[in-house]
A and B are shown apart, each in its own frame.
Chain A
Amino acid sequence: MKKLFLIITGMIFLSGCAASSALRYPPSRWIKDNDMTPIAEPTERWRYSYAVGEYERYQLAMFQKVSSFIGVPKVVTGGNEEALNVDNFDEAPDSTWFTNRIGRFDMTPAQVALGSGTGKAPSVKDTLEVVWVGRAELSPEIIVEDKDGAHYLLIFDDSQHPESATSATIIANRLLYAAGYNLPESHIVGVDRSKLVISPAAVTTTKYGEEVPATSEDLDRLLCLVAEDPRTETARAAMLAEEEGIPLGPFSFSGKRSDDKKNDRIPHEHRRELRGLATFCAFLDCTVMDDEQTGDFFVATGDDVGFITHYILRTDSTLGTYRKSEEQGLYDPAKWNPFFPNAAFANRTSRDAFWAAAILSRISNDAIAAAVDEAKYASKDKRDAVVKMLVDRKDKTIAYAFEKLSPLSNFNLLKDGESLLLDFDDLSGKNVYRYRLKTERERAILKDWTDTADTNASIESDLVGRILKKRLYVLEIQSKKPGDEWWLPPVDVFLKRTGDDEITLMGIARRYR
């Protein structure tokens, strides 16, 4: 019994030590995850299944709720566990899941509008062989093969909702790609139905998920549901190019791939980009974001080896496409949820939302308009209404995320003679600020609260001299709107005098209220 007690106490102690060591990487704001280690091609092809793995999705969340209820300290349970793949600056690394794009580099509206494609839509003038006929549970869809053997997914609008699923696909595809996610190239095309020919090898999927041969009647039945553009007498479709690599089926929003242990090290529900996707989905009013919208692809890099990339394939359920009409237009970021829960969204924290909102804030209204233009709405009024809706949702989404945590970002430590100047950006506009310098555990306060209206904090030369080697110091910065009574929770900026006697910015931590 004594031994057990000692073991448990020891583990609590160790977990406390480990939890306090937040700065795990070299102090670089942008890092690349080493997740392209060559592996053998996975043999199993996953199929979408809502029920499978549902238990695992909520495993940790349950522990946290119970532990919180009975009062177990958060240091033991992890509380609302933060994303596990962030760097010292609370950013998601570049990886096979995500590439920092507009969050890191400026993108023009034209670049946003380009999306992942080359800007040139594939030709649909020649005969297209239909190799797969969908069931039109959401929108009518087929997979076609062109004369070069390339495959494309065609998503049509159903006749009751013209310009809905296709526009949603195109717009969300571009905006999510700009944010950093992997998405397929997509274009709006007008398909002449007479050019669609059923392939002898075509298949369709039954409502029980079985693949059975498809006939031209199946295709006709599906195309009966499709909206036709009266101007061109073609069926408007969103055309999605097949991704590079061998399709492995959807990825899961929880757990890890058992056949990619070398690269898939972070449980998906704790990946920053998947948790933050909830904020983008809220912005885009994406009603369905589960495994079925995603896809993993094996990209060969050598003989029998390669790596897996992870894509969001379908975005047709954005812009409230499948939402009831009475629910549209009522957007409250605090209450937004997709139709079906997924583990990553369930585990998201305010930091995840902040991360996503910071990226979202860099997508300009012009960029949104450029993305909407790619949907090629027939009516300018409709186009304008969609732009207005998205801008409005963007503003609400950002405002909500920035109300919870201090909207300070892009910290840079500059030398100003013998003094130091910490420069930062305020993502929400003009606020007032205060800061103080202290040791990591607040044993000593080197500089007490100092108010400023500028987006920088200065550390005078005498204080610089008091920063000792190999110890961690914290510059605690708070912000509030002018006239507000209360300060927002602080951002801790970690400073350290490294071996070469230089004071280095080690990272940041956004604190909760």
Chain B
Amino acid sequence: MFRRLIIIICLLVAPAAWADDPVVTVTPPNSRIYKKILLFPLEIPKYALQAATFPLGITSRYVERKHIQQRVADFLSNDDKTFWVYPIIEGGAGSGFGGGPALKHINLFDDGYQLSANYRIHINMDQQAGASIGKPDAFEIFGAPVSWSFSPQWFRFLDQNFYGFGNDSQQGNKSQYLINQTDILGEIAAHPLENFSVGLDLGYSLATTGEGDSPTIDSIFPVNSLSGFEKWLQYGIFGLKIEHDDRNNKSLPESGGLRKLTLARYQHFGQGSFNYNQLNLDLKQFIRLGGPRRVLGLHTGWTFQQIPSGNEIPYYRLATLDVYSPLRGFKRQRFVDRGMCVFNLEYRMPLWSTVDGVIFGDTGRVFHGVGDFSFKGFKYSAGGGLRMRAMNLMLFRLDVAYGGEGVNFIFGMSRSL
């Protein structure tokens, strides 16, 4: 009551000019309406995806309001949020539904060591397991921080696809083989400049292949065309990696980019001549369009394999263009040859409070050598998807893509483009 009295007194003794101020109903100018109409086409993808995922929107709002993400995060992690145990769920594009447990520690022994491990099994009994331990900025060389990591991996796929060699391989020639591979890779990388690193890789790889589920690879392709088929092959891997990574977030980047060049020598041990060299170039750029969560992602990836005379590359180690390249409208291991390139454009936009939508277009091709490369024969695919997010991390992705060989549904917990 007293406060109200004060306000009334203040109003009464306000300067006369104050009382004479014209009272105007302030409204936005009409031009804003025209602008909104004109710019409506830019909003169509968002409205389309929102309409298609409306129940998800309601769920998302509920999840956000009830702090369910935080509750789940608390359940899966320790109090310091340094140790996580979480499930992995993935599938699609010919790999079948699968999943498994994973763990991650980002400050092991309270000394900055990072540890991760996971095991996944799919309904077709494909299995893979991996682990990694490392320490960022473990020590310094000439004032530059140096990181190291050590990561063993193993996988056993019972029905890996093979469609033949080259860009013109036919979908109807789909065959399957078994692959059992173990890789052990150590890496040491110096960071002489911020975001820039130069690393050396040293690794060992052991792999063999065999007949898979029907139709088996040897029932469609002559065995003598399948270099390394049914052989145990061991490799020493010696690599050099140059990387510049200024993405603001590795899981759901909104700005910055990744530029990575990898040169590797695959030195075969044992009988036969299976040595080869490989060059990978990976360029990503993320452009924020106006504000958080509106991102244009650009990516191109190139792989070149060079074979010294008298050597050959096992068919399952050839450069691959497939759903993971990503050419999302095509199945796993769809195109293989000695070279590959892919271009991706992805627009990510916020749909709901915890869900982003994406529309994307992918194109790429494989080629036998640099001299055979041309801009003809590119394969195209396009589609859209959803990214469930929490705490600026991508928790789950769902993509639907089409490239002329049926619709691909892809879901999993991998990172952004």
Contact = CB atoms under 8 A, between A and B. Distances in A.
Interface of A: 8, 11-12, 14-15, 18-19, 21, 24-26, 28, 30-35, 47, 49, 51-55, 57-67, 76-78, 84-85, 87, 93-95, 105, 118, 185, 207-209, 241, 244, 265-267, 270, 341, 343, 346
Given A30-B17, A31-B21, A54 B27 contact: no
A76 B28 contact: no
B400 to A, nearest CB: 22
A63 B4 contact: no
A61 B350 CA distance: 14
B19 to A, nearest CB: 10
B263 to A, nearest CB: 35
Contacts of A244: 3-4, 7
B64 A49 contact: yes
A266 B26 contact: yes
Interface stretch (B33-41, B131-139, B373-381): B33-41
Nearest to B14: A105
A153 B346 CA distance: 48
Contact of B291 (A14, A85, A118, A341): A341
Contact of A341 (B15, B32, B292): B292
Nearest to B74: A207
B231 interface: no
A266 B28 CA distance: 6
A207 B70 contact: yes
B345 to A, nearest CB: 14
B290 A78 contact: no
Contact of A28 (B22, B28, B292, B353): B22
Contacts of B64: 49, 51-52
B294 interface: yes
Interface string B1-33: 011101100000001011001111111111110
B292 A58 contact: yes
B290 A34 contact: no
A84 B29 contact: yes
Contacts of A93: 24, 26
B61 A52 contact: yes
A343 B289 CA distance: 14
Contact of B29 (A19, A52, A66): A19
Contacts of A76: 35, 38
A55 B292 CA distance: 8
B42 A57 contact: no
Contacts of B289: 62, 65-66
Given A12-B34, A32-B23, A346-B291, 5 more contacts: A25-B22, A54-B293, A55-B350, A55-B352, A341-B292
A209 B31 CA distance: 41
A50 B32 CA distance: 27
8 contacts: A12-B38, A18-B31, A31-B21, A34-B23, A49-B65, A62-B294, A93-B24, A185-B3
B351 to A, nearest CB: 8
A265 B15 CA distance: 28
B38 A66 contact: no
A85 to B, nearest CB: 5
Contacts of A61: 290-291
Contact of B24 (A33, A49, A270): A33
A34 B25 CA distance: 5
A244 B2 CA distance: 11
B25 A52 contact: no
B21 A52 contact: no
A134 B24 CA distance: 42
A208 B70 contact: yes
Contact of B32 (A8, A78, A185, A346): A78
A28 B22 CA distance: 7
A63 B42 contact: yes
Q: Which of A31, A59, A64, A87 has the most CB of B within 10 A?
A: A59
B67 interface: yes
A78 B24 contact: no
Contacts of B38: 8, 11-12, 15, 76
Given A30-B21, A34-B24, A58 B291 contact: yes
A25 B24 contact: yes
Interface string B342-371: 000000011111100000000000000000
Contact of A11 (B37, B294, B352): B37
Nearest to B66: A208
A83 B351 CA distance: 26
Contacts of A28: 21-22
Nearest to A28: B22
Contacts of B39: 63, 67, 77
Contact of B71 (A53, A60, A85, A208): A208
A94 B21 contact: yes
A270 B71 CA distance: 35
Nearest to A60: B290
B414 to A, nearest CB: 23
A208 B22 contact: no
A451 to B, nearest CB: 34
A71 to B, nearest CB: 14
A49 B4 CA distance: 32
A221 B144 CA distance: 45
A347 to B, nearest CB: 10
A12 B4 CA distance: 50
